[in-house]
A and B are shown apart, each in its own frame.
Chain A
Amino acid sequence: MVRFLIPSVAVLLFLLEPEFAMLSPIEMKGDIYYLVPRFLILYLIFISIYYSRQRAVMYGLFFGVLYDVFYIDIIGLYSVLYPLICFLAGSIVKVIHQHLVVTTTISVILVAILEFILYQFFYLIDFTAIPLADFLRSRLLPTIIANALFLMILGWAFKYLINARVLQRAREVS
């Protein structure tokens, strides 16, 4: 049961992202703020940290291709960035302590890096012309806050689910 739960949660998060994206951009006192939901990659980072780096990279590749084809029509962008972020997360965790607070912080930082690389890419190919300061204020900061909130609410659930799977696998092996 738990075995299938992990990929189904990933699929669900993938399908929920655009629904949450419809709430954005929000207008506050004349300023526009963009909240980009990055639920799936946060979940994949958790898989990479608590379960298996290799598995996370494979999920990252699969969902990256889907994301590229369905949403942005630039094939090769997310399909590289998602696995890369998962790989980084899995590598970082080998040198630090796996406490939930620490992993949450790392996840949010990695999402910020992802967001920044994407901004640089779209700036390079002239899809956007907003200056760096505007990007930081109207996109990066709100996105980080929203995703950090999401992770604070559901991070423990992810960890619980993944741990259940790890235990199940340990039982199967023994």
Chain B
Amino acid sequence: MPHFFFNKKVILLLVGMVFLVALISFSLRDRTNATLPEQIIKDTVGVAQSLVAKPANYINGIFNNIDSLLNTYEENKRLKARLEDFAVVQAEATDLKSENTKLRELLNKSESLKAFNPIHATVIARNPDQWEEKIILDKGSSHGVEKNMAVMTAKGLVGKIILVTPFTSEVELLYTNNPNYRVSAMVLGEKEAYGLIEGFDEERNELIMKRIDSSLTVKEGEQVVSSGLGGIFPKGVPIGEITEVSTDDFGLTKMAYVKPSADFSILEHVVIAKRTSTVVDGSDGNATNEDLSNPQKKASEEEAE
């Protein structure tokens, strides 16, 4: 009988395996919030991480400064050439801006899809194994960050917030294999063309824009910006530039490869955009046909029936 359970270690191993599979399958489900122990660990590590990240960013900054110092002459020449155009563009922009506000007042329409409140954040970590494209920021729900907010740099859109704890938040980058990750985008051509950024091509290292109406012409070199229609991202955030246009899988719509304008490899300071107009709350991409902006209303309607 004592040898019936032939080895205590084997039993322990089996129990461990079952526990492990249960844990992994629990954490693989689509979770919207981190559990309390997870939040505590995330916040604690986050604080320690930001202590290390600050000197690291400082050293990184020194190297960047040296790098830009070496290119000063070339850059100066180029910038001087562009400065002349800049004055003209700026005058035009202020003119258009004032005209825009006047017209808005005339229409009595103050809400804009473009408007957002910026929250500045520093990148404190990037998951080192780099299988999922995630970065972790040092601002969390106590600073007003919420799930699904857009994250961008000065150059363009980077990703969106997927998980928030009191002092950290996690960003899923545009470079992702997640099929539910879509960004409503538009091409700034002669006529605006709308489409969706869906996934990215790993070989070309470029984003893929799908579902562009085939009757519209989309050309190489045209700019792609977010359209603000998806309900999450503010309007007009630059995404990238079209490098190639072809037809979709079924030939009904067009698709385009988009070279992202933001540099994803070294991210330091980002801006979290809190959209001022109504944000569609709920998960985007489950295709459930539910009224996402008003979940309670729908439930009460069902009860009434």
Shortest Cβ gap from A114 to chain B (Å): 10
Q: Bound complex: CA of A12 vs CA of B56, how far in Å?
A: 13
Chain B residues with Cβ under 8 A from A130's Cβ?
202
* Cα-based distance from A69 to B131 in the complex (angstroms): 15
Find out whether the CB atom of A17 lies under 8 angstroms from the CB atom of B28.
no
A75 contacts which chain B residues (CB < 8 A)? 23-24, 26-27, 38
Interface string of B216-250 (1 = CB under 8 A from A): 00000000000000000000000000000000000
Cα-based distance from A65 to B40 in the complex (angstroms): 13
Could you tell me if B128 and A36 are in contact, using CB atoms closer than 8 angstroms?
Answer: yes
Contact B177 A71 (CB under 8 A): no
A122 at the interface (CB under 8 A from B): yes
Do B266 and A118 touch across chains, with their CB atoms under 8 A apart?
A: no
Query: If A32-B205, A66-B45, A122-B131 touch, does A18 touch B125 (CB 8 Å cutoff)?
Result: yes
Q: Does A80 contact B (CB under 8 A)?
A: yes
In the complex the two chains form, what is the Cα distance from A113 to B304 in whole Å? 59
Q: Are B177 and A129 interface neighbours, CB within 8 A?
A: yes
Say whether A4 faces chain B, with CB atoms less than 8 Å apart.
no
List A48-84 residues whose CB lies under 8 Å from chain B.
Answer: 65-66, 68-77, 80
Q: Report yes or no: B41 in contact with A69, Cβ–Cβ below 8 A.
A: yes
Contact assessment for B130 and A25 in the assembled complex, using a CB-CB cutoff below 8 Å: yes
B177 touches A24 (CB 8 A): no
A127 vs B28: C-alpha distance in the bound complex, in angstroms? 11
Task: Indicate with 1 or 0, residue by residue over B105-136, a CB within 8 angstroms of chain A CB atoms.
Answer: 00000000000000000011111111110101
A37 on interface, CB distance cutoff 8 Å: yes
How many residues of chain B are within 8 Å of chain A by beta carbon?
Answer: 41
The CA-CA distance from A23 to B26 in the complex, in Å, is: 32
Interface assignment of A152: CB less than 8 Å from any CB of chain B: no
Q: Which of B53, B128, B205 contacts A71 (CB 8 A)?
A: B128
Chain A residue total in the interface (Cβ 8 A): 42
Q: Given A74-B27, A80-B20, A22–B267 Cβ distance below 8 Å? A: yes
**A72 near B132 (CB under 8 angstroms)?**
yes
CA distance A37 to B42 in the complex (A): 20
Partner of A128, one of B20, B128, B177, B265: B177
Minimum CB–CB distance for B132 against chain A, Å: 6
B46: chain A residues at CB < 8 Å are 70
Determine the distance from Cα of A22 to Cα of B60 in the docked complex, in whole angstroms: 10
Does B49 sit within 8 A of A, measured CB to CB? yes
Residue A20 is within 8 A (CB to CB) of chain B in the complex: yes
Which chain B positions have C-beta within 8 A of A17? 128
Residue numbers in A under 8 Å from B66 (CB-CB) = none
| Contact between chains at B128 and A127 (CB < 8 Å) | no
Question: B42: which of A11, A27, A34, A69 is its contact (CB, 8 Å)?
Answer: A69
The answer to the question of A19 belonging to the interface, with a C-beta cut-off of 8 Å to chain B, is yes
Q: Closest approach, in angstroms, between the C-beta of A67 and any C-beta of chain B?
A: 8
Q: Is A5 an interface residue (CB 8 A)?
A: no
